[in-house]
Amino acid sequence: MSQLSDGAMANALRKLHSASQTIPMQQAQPATAHMFIVNPLTAGSLVSLFSTHPPMEERIARLEAMSRGGWRS
């Protein structure tokens, strides 16, 4: 991944997450949820156990750390 200027990727994820909380998708289907950047379904405790991605807050924190040069793979 190239250098992230001012955490642009983190800001984009933050905006997507915020929008998904404000305007939930009414006709989201479990069969297509994996195609979304932000999970369109309400995450319950059992759903999060089987999640294939870290929580949105953790993803944003990792991207911010990468933009500051503080995270290495």
Per-residue pLDDT tens digits of the chain, which is 73 residues long: 555 565 888 899 899 888 887 777 777 788 887 788 887 776 555 556 667 778 888 888 888 888 777 665 5
Q: The whole model's pTM is what?
A: 0.63
Residue 37, token pair as written in the block: 């950047």
Q: Check if the beta carbon of residue 67 is closer than 8 Å to that of residue 7.
A: yes
Residue 14, token pair as written in the block: 């933050």
CA distance 69 to 46: 34
Residue 39 CB neighbour total at 10 angstroms: 19
3-state DSSP: the chain helix, strand, coil percent, rounded to 5?
55, 0, 45
